């Protein structure tokens, strides 16, 4: 009789249990993807005439930080604190 779909019920139950489920695609996820924009610097020289880049170093501030679902790539949160809380839920 319920008009609530099975997917919606799973979503609600998962939320009640505090499970680690993506709020966008409802898939259980074991980790988040961290995205950030940051300027990097690398040593640059030539190796046998070919461009050769050294290891990358952060150079400047990280901007547009966000934590996304690895399944649907939707942003789940933008604060590390919220991401930590999200990961503390049972998977
Ligand atoms: Zn997702």
- Tell me: the pLDDT tens digits for 46-76? 999 999 999 989 888 888 899 999 999 999 9
* Ligand 1 center–CA 28 separation, angstroms: 8
Pair of tokens at residue 62: 């990280």
pLDDT-derived band at 13 (thresholds 50, 70, 90) equals low
pLDDT at 9: 67
* Ligand 1 center–CA 20 separation, angstroms: 11
Domain locations in the chain as residue ranges: 6-88
Specify the DSSP element, H or E, that contains 31: none
pLDDT at 8: 72
In angstroms, rounded to a whole number, what is the distance separating the alpha carbons of residues 81 and 68?
14
Residue pLDDT, tens place only, 32-47: 999 999 899 999 999 9
How many residues can be counted in the chain?
91
* Ligand 1 center–CA 54 separation, angstroms: 35
Return the half-sphere exposure (C-beta side, CA atoms, 13 A cut-off) of residue 91. Answer: 5
In angstroms, rounded to a whole number, what is the distance separating the alpha carbons of residues 79 and 30?
18
What's the whole-model pTM score?
0.64
pLDDT at 14: 55
Cα 8 from chain centroid? Answer: 23
**Which chain residues have CB less than 5 Å from ligand 1, an ion?**
22, 24-25, 69, 71-72
């Amino acid at each position: 009789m319920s008009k609530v779909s099975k997917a919606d019920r799973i979503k609600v139950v998962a939320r009640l249990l505090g499970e680690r489920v993506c709020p966008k695609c409802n898939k259980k996820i074991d980790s988040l993807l961290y995205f950030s924009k940051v300027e990097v610097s690398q040593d640059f020289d030539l190796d046998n005439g070919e461009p050769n880049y050294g290891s990358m170093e952060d150079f400047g501030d990280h901007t547009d930080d966000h934590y996304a679902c690895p399944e649907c790539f939707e942003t789940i949160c933008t604060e590390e604190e919220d991401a930590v809380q999200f990961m503390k839920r049972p998977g």
